Amino acid sequence: VGNLTAGGTGKTPLVALVAKILLRHGWRPSILTRGYGRSSHADLLVVPPAPARRAEAREVGDEPALLAGALPEVPLIICADRFRGGSVAEKRFAVDVHILDDGFQHLALARDVDLVVLDATQPLSDRRLFPAGRQREPLSALKRAQMVVITRVASGDPKPLEEMISRIQPAAKSFRSSTEILTLVDVTTGKTLPGEEIRHERVAAFCGIGNPHAFFTDVQRWGFNLVAEDAFSDHHVYTGQELHRLVASARKNGAAALLTTEKDAVKFPRDWRPGLPI
């Protein structure tokens, strides 16, 4: 599972969905990832299956930490060498299928299916290749894809991307997806809340993801009264000082709560206690 751009397309939730589908059909998947942004310099990290497991985002990376909590029955192997990681997974956990998280450009490893994620709100062009833009490969790379998922169709028009896919790789199956809120979770207590409880309140939003504008747009589309927003770089690791500043800013704007993403929440200092609900 991968993309043509440097993150921000909604790839990680799709990796989790693929793993859940495989589990339902009797497969024993592993997730192979490099753990971008992790502090550990170990060549290989193994997060074994365990009920109610938690992985430390600062050690393994924010996306593996998120996946570890969402898929406690799936082993995660964090290693730049995906072949080595997959070999370890097969030996230790008897897995029979591997999911490469952000693996579209990992051409050294053979694969059976390439699933590419494209964002309907982000235009693609061969003029946007690194270093001129955020695009990793030319559009012709889509010829390697068997499936393409176009995300955020509620905020952008998917038709230009679908037309491009049909020109470059007409054999690929194309799907549309949109981002919807499932539940709100208080990061301090772990309590789940219905969105209606705070939709009428003033809220401030912040995130450190690949496409922060998409998150802020969704927050407004879901009906929240957004009065302030703060964007950090993708994979940003928060300090207590930064979080206190966000709380102070939210109070200044009259916000009763802060909203952020699940990927951001796994990177808060464990001993930090907010002065407002998050």
- What's the mean pLDDT when you consider all of the chain? 92
N- to C-terminal Cα distance for the chain?
Answer: 31
Say what the pLDDT of residue 133 is: 87
234-269 confidence digits (pLDDT tens): 989 899 899 999 999 999 999 999 999 999 998 888
Task: Give residue 208's pLDDT band: very low, low, confident or very high (50, 70, 90).
Answer: very high
Residue 131 preceded by cis peptide, ω within 30? yes
Kindly report the pTM of this predicted structure.
Answer: 0.89
pLDDT at 120 over 90: yes
pLDDT at 175 over 80: yes
Beta sheet of 257-259, edge-to-edge order: 225-231, 202-207, 257-259
3-56 confidence digits (pLDDT tens): 999 878 999 999 999 999 999 999 999 999 987 766 667 899 999 999 988 888
What's the DSSP call for residue 239?
A: P
Find out whether 266 and 67 touch, Cβ atoms under 8 Å: no
51-99 confidence digits (pLDDT tens): 988 888 888 888 999 999 999 999 999 999 999 999 999 999 999 999 9
